[in-house]
Amino acid sequence: MTHLKLTNIYASRCKACHGADGLGKWLDDQGYIFPPLVDEDLFSDAGKLLGSASQ
């Protein structure tokens, strides 16, 4: 799967909840309501690829 295709999938299916940067949404009183998808320690290759797109 190409980088462009993954970016388009993220934009159409994930971005609204997990944010443009993939860092998720944190509420101080509840913790993550949408967990991060991008992190240097993330085990998902797709998450790593999406993370490199935001840098």
How does pLDDT run along the chain (55 residues), one tens digit per residue? Answer: 788 898 899 999 999 999 998 888 989 999 889 988 877 555 455 555 555 554 4
| Amino acid in the structure at residue 39 | D
Residue ranges per structural domain of the chain: 3-53
Q: How far apart are CA 27 and CA 4, in angstroms?
A: 31
pLDDT in the model for residue 28: 93
pLDDT in the model for residue 16: 94
pLDDT in the model for residue 15: 93
pLDDT in the model for residue 51: 55
Strand 31-34 relative to strand 25-27, pairing: antiparallel
The CATH T-level fold of domain 3-53 is Cytochrome Bc1 Complex; Chain D, domain 2 (1.10.760)
Q: How far apart are CA 5 and CA 24, in angstroms?
A: 21
